[in-house]
Amino acid sequence: MTATTRRPALDRLLSPRSIAMVGASNSPTRIGGTVFANLLRAFPGDVYPINPKDEVVQNRPAFRTVSELPEAVDMAVIAVPAPAVVGVVAECAARGIGGATVITSGFAEAGPEGRALQDRLTEVSRETGIRVVGPNCIGYMNAHEGVMANFMMTVDQPLPQPGPVALVSQSGGFGSYITNKAVLAGLRLGWFVSTGNEADVNVANVLRHLVERPEVGVLLSFVETLRDPEVFVETACRAAELDKPLVLLKAGRSEEAARAAMSHTASIVGSAQVLDAVCRQYGVFVASTMEELLDFGTIFQDGRRARGNRVIVMTSSGGAGVLLADEAGQAGLSVPELPKEEQTALAADMPLPFYGSTVNPVDTTAQTTAMPDAYRKVLNRVAASPSADMVAAVTWAGPGPGNDAIVEMYQNTDKPVAILSTAWSEQFQQAGVPTYTDPRRAMAALAALARQSARRPLPPDPARFTADADRVRRVRELIAGTGGETTLLESTGKSILAMYGVPVTREELVTDVDGAVEAAERVGGPVAIKVMSYQLPHKSDVGAIRLGLRGPDAVRAGYREMLAEVARRAPDAVVEGVLVQQMAPARLELTCGLQRDPVFGPMVALGLGGVLVEVLSEAVLLRPPFDADTARAALGELLGGRLVTGRRGLSEAEQQAAAQVMAGLGVLALELDEVTEVDVNPLRVADGVVLAADALIVVDHG
């Protein structure tokens, strides 16, 4: 075994020191010709063509088969017809090759036969340890090490200038498309990997690999199906630790949103929402458009960070300045009025008479374009302002002293800069000045940068979570006592919730009318009584509930009437008991639930409850483990922040209590795999108190 083969196979695949290409061709119009020509462009190591017919391919002596190769290369590019691919990959594995990049189409995307071929490819990879990118991909580019193993560009197109940005895309065509756009937008791509059908390596794996590489500073990704969510989350955590921004653009959102609702809570939590929530929780940026993916890459590629969220805006057009300030506000940034002494200093540099503004936006008016020195002075003073953490400026595309001054200012400051320009400008691209063609896009990028600069601590490490074995034992005893019922009684559910710190209504389970009267006295105040029966999950449908009973007579009468009505309307229901429960006051009703997402596993949701739950369909979601502080911060995002800032919104104490409920459900989710669903609805909120007034727990007895 040589030193080379000791490297992990994925590293050999993506950073090869020698390459072979099966299906290398002399024809420039064939993919096998284009890829091989690209391989030869910048790679410093050996590149071996494999071709059973031609003895020489593009001036290199060709080998007939993989077995005949003079060395166990690190990576093989494969562009042979689909039916031959599996055999070739197996041959590569046998020859000791680390990885294969399979360009060929005609696999899972092409129906059942292709699907079968792909399954065999996956098997070969699993069995032999050879790592496979593709099939049905456009290949990859590792510009730092000269690997152009792709047909996303032809040999006559200039190689992109390598930079800190890595782009990983499932879709090859889209990857090529966006790479083209990225180069036009001045994004310096060092890596582009298309994973195609992901028979082995997927987007999450590649991101996980690239996040550790020192030359990679920014990770952009485009996915249709996110595989290996655990790896994705781990990558997000590493990216956060290393302060490398990770941006995700997801296709197929509207389809996923239409996914059939599995239960009540699932109806408000489509999986696009789950993905968004997971990204928010782990600090991943979700790009809302293709251009935003590039816009974020552009603001992040120079590695600058902001000390706060104050922007100073410099413009010669009042209208553009106002739009930038508006968008700054809407993006959560501030455009603070400059202190008097700074304004005086700025005014001293302005031409007279001066009809602009020194307040912020600093408006130098159209006059200044004719006075480049004044513009330059003011611009540098603006960038140096101690009142601002970031700089935005407006300009017209095209050469001129104004744009020279902008480049100079950008180079003189270490603050993040975003330029609003009428169009891309080659001058700015070469100087690396982040440029945007719309005020909203400029401010969205600065806001993302401010968020990256002010990261909250990461969520707790799932590996460190330890279950409370005693509590788990006690809960399992309760569950075992249900005799195999999958939906627990409300009374059992609340007992379990209480063990996880969820405040529940004061209540007692009784079995006769005298017991109810006594329990009502202990519970105090007006009470609700509810029939507990596994056959009656929807109590109000059959009159199995009475509300607001005050005093022994009312309790006694209510109890008898209720049981009589249930006996009449649901004669087959077995009554396990009657729950006598405190009437919880409510200014607001919330709902809190636990669902198990097919991709990301347990997710705890909190939203508005009561009848509005379906009308509003909005919830915050967290993936356990998380602490109560994280839950509290998440509450602040509900209803655009109004749930906590609104005049009748949640008070401090209520926020804390609601967060505690979420945290409790999070722990429950991790301790009890058999609990498939929890629905606390309503969670009644009043006077600083939050109380679970009903609870539904569904278990899978396995």
Residues 294-323 touching a second copy, rule: CB under 8 A, are 315-320, 322-323
Exposed, middle or buried by CB within 10 Å (0-12, 13-18, 19+), for 324?
buried
**Burial letters 167-194, b for 16+ CB under 10 A, else e:** bbbbbbebbbebbeebbebbbbbbbbbb
Can residue 617 be called a binding residue for a second copy (CB under 8 A)? yes
Tell me, letter by letter, the H, E, C secondary structure of 512-530.
CHHHHHHHHHHHCCCEEEE
How near is the Cβ of 403 to a second copy at its closest, in Å? 14
Tell me, letter by letter, the H, E, C secondary structure of 532-557.
ECCCCCCHHHHCCEEEEECCHHHHHH
Distance CA 170, CA 197 (A): 7
Q: Which residues contact 540 (CB under 8 A, 6 or more apart)?
A: none
Distance CA 566, CA 404 (A): 83
User: Considering only residues 341, 461, 572, 614, which one is a binding residue for a second copy as defined by CB under 8 A?
Assistant: 614
Can residue 693 be called a binding residue for a second copy (CB under 8 A)? no
Report the residue number, 436 or 559, with the smaller CB distance to a second copy.
Answer: 436
| Nearest alpha carbon to residue 226 among 175, 294, 169, 179 | 169
Which helix or strand (DSSP H or E) is residue 231 part of? helix 229-241
Structure tokens at 189: 């791509």
| Nearest alpha carbon to residue 152 among 123, 130, 182, 124 | 182
User: Considering only residues 599, 639, 670, 689, which one is a binding residue for a second copy as defined by CB under 8 A?
Assistant: 639
Q: What is the total count of residues that contact a second copy (CB under 8 A)?
A: 78
> In the 8-state DSSP scheme, what is residue 327?
H
Interface with a second copy in residues 357-376 (CB under 8 A): 365-366, 370
How near is the Cβ of 392 to a second copy at its closest, in Å? 14
How near is the Cβ of 702 to a second copy at its closest, in Å? 33
Report the residue number, 180 or 487, with the smaller CB distance to a second copy.
Answer: 180
Contacts of the segment 565-568: beta carbons below 8 A, 24+ positions apart: 566/531, 566/533, 566/536, 566/542
| Nearest alpha carbon to residue 19 among 42, 61, 47 | 47
Can residue 643 be called a binding residue for a second copy (CB under 8 A)? yes
Can residue 587 be called a binding residue for a second copy (CB under 8 A)? yes
Can residue 355 be called a binding residue for a second copy (CB under 8 A)? yes
Can residue 611 be called a binding residue for a second copy (CB under 8 A)? yes
Binding mask 95-134 for a second copy (x = CB under 8 A): ----------xx--xx---x--------------------
Interface with a second copy in residues 495-524 (CB under 8 A): none
Report the residue number, 104 or 301, with the smaller CB distance to a second copy.
Answer: 104
Interface with a second copy in residues 142-181 (CB under 8 A): 151, 169-177, 180-181
The window from 278-286, 325-333, 527-535, 556-564 that contacts a second copy (CB under 8 A) reads 325-333
Interface with a second copy in residues 43-102 (CB under 8 A): none
Interface with a second copy in residues 226-245 (CB under 8 A): none
Report the residue number, 145 or 291, with the smaller CB distance to a second copy.
Answer: 291
Can residue 347 be called a binding residue for a second copy (CB under 8 A)? no
Report the residue number, 177 or 534, with the smaller CB distance to a second copy.
Answer: 177
How near is the Cβ of 299 to a second copy at its closest, in Å? 17
Q: Is 589 helix (H, G, I), strand (E, B) or coil?
A: strand
> What angle, 0 to 180 degrees and rounded to 10, lies between the N-to-C axes of helices 172-184 and 290-300?
50
User: Considering only residues 27, 387, 411, 422, which one is a binding residue for a second copy as defined by CB under 8 A?
Assistant: 422
Report the residue number, 237 or 322, with the smaller CB distance to a second copy.
Answer: 322
User: Considering only residues 77, 247, 269, 608, which one is a binding residue for a second copy as defined by CB under 8 A?
Assistant: 608
Which helix or strand (DSSP H or E) is residue 474 part of? helix 469-480
| Nearest alpha carbon to residue 197 among 95, 295, 118 | 118
Residue in the block written with tokens 């400026």: 393
User: Considering only residues 11, 54, 215, 224, which one is a binding residue for a second copy as defined by CB under 8 A?
Assistant: 224
Report the residue number, 69 or 590, with the smaller CB distance to a second copy.
Answer: 590
Can residue 192 be called a binding residue for a second copy (CB under 8 A)? no
Can residue 251 be called a binding residue for a second copy (CB under 8 A)? yes
Can residue 329 be called a binding residue for a second copy (CB under 8 A)? yes
How near is the Cβ of 533 to a second copy at its closest, in Å? 25
How near is the Cβ of 633 to a second copy at its closest, in Å? 18
Interface with a second copy in residues 21-40 (CB under 8 A): 29
Interface with a second copy in residues 264-293 (CB under 8 A): 288-291
How near is the Cβ of 80 to a second copy at its closest, in Å? 14
Asked if residues 33 and 25 have their Cβ atoms less than 8 Å apart, the reply is: yes
Report the residue number, 283 or 297, with the smaller CB distance to a second copy.
Answer: 297
Which amino acid is located at 684 in the chain? R
How near is the Cβ of 174 to a second copy at its closest, in Å? 3
Can residue 255 be called a binding residue for a second copy (CB under 8 A)? yes
How near is the Cβ of 224 to a second copy at its closest, in Å? 6
Cα angle at 537 between 533 and 542, to 5 degrees? 80
The window from 37-45, 252-260, 300-308, 687-695 that contacts a second copy (CB under 8 A) reads 252-260
Interface with a second copy in residues 436-465 (CB under 8 A): 437-441
Report the residue number, 267 or 411, with the smaller CB distance to a second copy.
Answer: 267
Residue in the block written with tokens 């031959």: 84
| Nearest alpha carbon to residue 182 among 43, 296, 35 | 296
**Burial letters 560-594, b for 16+ CB under 10 A, else e:** eebbeebeeebeebebbbbbbbbbbebebbbbbbb
Asked if residues 151 and 34 have their Cβ atoms less than 8 Å apart, the reply is: yes
User: Considering only residues 144, 253, 471, 474, which one is a binding residue for a second copy as defined by CB under 8 A?
Assistant: 253
Which amino acid is located at 26 in the chain? N
Distance CA 266, CA 558 (A): 35
Report the residue number, 150 or 205, with the smaller CB distance to a second copy.
Answer: 150
